[in-house]
Amino acid sequence: MKIKHCLILLNLLLPAVGLAAPRLVYNGDTLQWNKEWKRKQCGTLDISKNIKEVSGIACSRVTPGYIWMQSDDYESYIVATTELGSERHCKVKFSKTIRWDWEDMSGGVYNDTNYLFIGAFGDNEETDGNYSIVYFKEPAIDASTPEITIEPNQIKYEYPDGKKHNAEALMYDNVSQTIYIITKVYYNVCQVFSLPMRLDYGTETQTLTYVCDLGVRSDLGYSEKNQPYKGFHLVTAADISPDGKYILIKNHNNIVASYSWILYWERMEGETVEEALTRQPQPLQCYMYEWQGEAICWLDDDTFYTTSDADDGNPPIYKYTRQQPADIGNVQTISFEEGSKNTTLQLIGNNLYIRKKNMIYTVDGRLVQQ
């Protein structure tokens, strides 16, 4: 359900009247901003050529350079576009009818095969209960076949408490080959559930496993000094990086825009997703509110995208790139051979960068700092 657009004007006026941005209190602590990332608009989604009300995206692993998108507006197909969003390069239709309320999608590898997963689990009124995960082998994107039809698979599920829940976020972990679903709750903590990926579930309804809460209920209030803050609720999207090292979970609040964040976790070596999510995350400082911002996906460890399902025009596509950390810590420097004056390789954390004078690039040539 959409909030009236007049609220956008209110949100835009908030900074002008001098209201301070709220702190994000999570598990009783004020979170510290992560300043490692930079955001820029890389494209604009032309909904007349692609799809409208995008609520889930996933970077293609079979045909790199493309982004898959799905809608929650009764559209029973997905499309692929580039980060520019101006042209549709592939449309995938399904051979059978599937529950329409799709809210998020993710890509993942199972038994060395690339799959796409769609969460057919939206239930705003919590009255439906007919929840499932739609999945299928990711098709190749080929200019000679711009439209294809496939037969999808479906995993039906229920929640361990036996209740009905609204959910809008799905992520897949390539390390453990596990699907994660996050509920969307208003002014209360959202919950994370899991289900191991398998191909033989059949038509039986599976029961999810409870993982954790995102924050605590006591965070959803106001500080003693009357400086407003809100806890993390209304989760709309999530994704885990292809190598499993990083987790992103975002929310949106269309009533008060400044209560919208992307939370970021770095997963330690040998740590499960469940263990990582019990630690305090970092909100990304570069994130700016998106109207109906409901989609996020990793390209690689240093890049991810967001867009929105705004239905009043063509929404922007944003690209986020990791910058050189402010505290570079232990830096190992290796000089190039003779003839490469002022050019060095630098190993910063686990990432290798190229420094030329005062410019820093990733090894594939992307400028990350100057």
- Could you please report the per-residue DSSP string of 187-214? SS-EEEEEEE--S--TTSPEEPEEEEEE
Which residues 6+ apart lie within 8 Å of 37 measured at CB? 284, 285, 286, 320, 321, 322, 323
Rounded Cα–Cα distance for residues 328 and 325 (Å): 6
Report pLDDT for 9: 38
Report pLDDT for 12: 39
Other CB atoms within a 10 A radius of the CB of residue 106 amount to: 30
- Whether the CB-CB separation of 304 and 320 falls below 8 Å is answered with yes
- Whether the CB-CB separation of 69 and 295 falls below 8 Å is answered with yes
- Whether the CB-CB separation of 282 and 264 falls below 8 Å is answered with yes
Q: How confident is the model at residue 6 (pLDDT cuts 50, 70, 90)?
A: very low
Q: How confident is the model at residue 122 (pLDDT cuts 50, 70, 90)?
A: very high
Report pLDDT for 2: 40
Report pLDDT for 322: 95
β-strand pairing of 54-59 with 303-308? unpaired
Domains and CATH numbers, the chain: 6-322 (2.120.10), 331-369 (no CATH)
Report pLDDT for 287: 95
Rounded Cα–Cα distance for residues 304 and 302 (Å): 7
Structure tokens of 365?
């040539």
In the predicted structure, residue 327 carries a pLDDT above the cut 50? no
In the predicted structure, residue 84 carries a pLDDT above the cut 50? yes
Which residues 6+ apart lie within 8 Å of 158 measured at CB? 129, 131, 205, 206, 207, 208
- Whether the CB-CB separation of 231 and 280 falls below 8 Å is answered with no
Report pLDDT for 328: 47
Write down the mean pLDDT value for the chain: 86
Which residues 6+ apart lie within 8 Å of 338 measured at CB? none
Listed in sequence order, the DSSP H helices in 14-166 are none
Report pLDDT for 8: 38
Rounded Cα–Cα distance for residues 208 and 196 (Å): 9
Report pLDDT for 340: 57
Rounded Cα–Cα distance for residues 354 and 134 (Å): 42
Report pLDDT for 18: 37
- Whether the CB-CB separation of 23 and 223 falls below 8 Å is answered with yes
Which residues 6+ apart lie within 8 Å of 360 measured at CB? 324, 346, 353, 354, 367, 368, 369, 370
Q: How confident is the model at residue 311 (pLDDT cuts 50, 70, 90)?
A: low
- Collapsing DSSP to helix, strand or coil, 17 comes out as helix
In the predicted structure, residue 369 carries a pLDDT above the cut 70? no
Rounded Cα–Cα distance for residues 135 and 137 (Å): 7
Report pLDDT for 281: 97
Average pLDDT over residues 46-62: 95
Report pLDDT for 75: 74
In the predicted structure, residue 204 carries a pLDDT above the cut 60? yes
59-63, 219-223, 243-247, 346-350: which has the minimum mean pLDDT?
A: 346-350
**Tens-place pLDDT, residues 216-254:** 998 887 655 666 677 899 999 999 999 999 999 999 887
Rounded Cα–Cα distance for residues 279 and 267 (Å): 10
Other CB atoms within a 10 A radius of the CB of residue 111 amount to: 9
**Total-model pTM:** 0.83
- What does DSSP assign to residue 228? B
When comparing pLDDT for 242 and 353, which is higher?
242
Rounded Cα–Cα distance for residues 177 and 240 (Å): 11
Q: How confident is the model at residue 367 (pLDDT cuts 50, 70, 90)?
A: low
Listed in sequence order, the DSSP H helices in 115-172 are none
Instruction: Tell me the one-letter amino acid at 242.
Output: P
Closest to 80 measured CA to CA, from 116, 114, 109, 112? 116
